[in-house]
Chains A and B, each alone.
Chain A
Amino acid sequence: MNIELIFQIAGIGILTSIFHTILKQAGKEEYSVIATLAGVSIALIMVVKLIAELLTSVKNVFFLQ
Chain B
Amino acid sequence: MGALCIFVGCGYLGFKVGDQYRQRTEILRYLQNGFNLLETEISYSSTPLPLALTRIAEKMRGLSQIPFAHAAKLLKHNQGLTAAEAWEEGVSCLALEFPLSREEISILVLFGHGLGCSAREEQMKNIVLAREQLRMAERAAEEARMKNQRMWQYMGLCTGGIIVLVLI
Q: What is the CA–CA distance of A16 and B166 in the complex, to the nearest angstrom?
A: 13
Chain A residues contacting B161 (CB-CB under 8 Å) are 11, 15
Partner of B151 from the list A4, A11, A23, A39 (CB cut-off 8 Å) is A23
B168 contacts partner chain A, Cβ-Cβ < 8 Å? yes
B61 contacts partner chain A, Cβ-Cβ < 8 Å? no
What is the size, in residues, of chain A's interface with B at 8 Å between Cβ atoms? Answer: 17
Interface residues on B, range: 10 to 19
In the complex, which residues 126-168 of chain B have their Cβ closer than 8 Å to any Cβ of chain A? 147-148, 150-151, 154-155, 158, 161-162, 165-166, 168
A65 contacts partner chain B, Cβ-Cβ < 8 Å? no
Q: A8-B168, A26-B147, A27-B147 are in contact. Are A42 and B154 (CB under 8 A)?
A: no
9 other A-B residue contacts (CB within 8 Å) besides A18-B154, A27-B147: A11-B161, A12-B165, A22-B151, A22-B155, A22-B158, A25-B151, A26-B150, A26-B151, A28-B151
What are 22 A-B pairs at a CB distance below 8 A? A4-B168, A8-B166, A11-B161, A12-B162, A12-B165, A12-B166, A15-B158, A15-B162, A15-B165, A18-B154, A19-B158, A22-B151, A22-B154, A22-B158, A26-B147, A26-B148, A26-B150, A27-B147, A28-B151, A39-B162, A42-B166, A46-B166
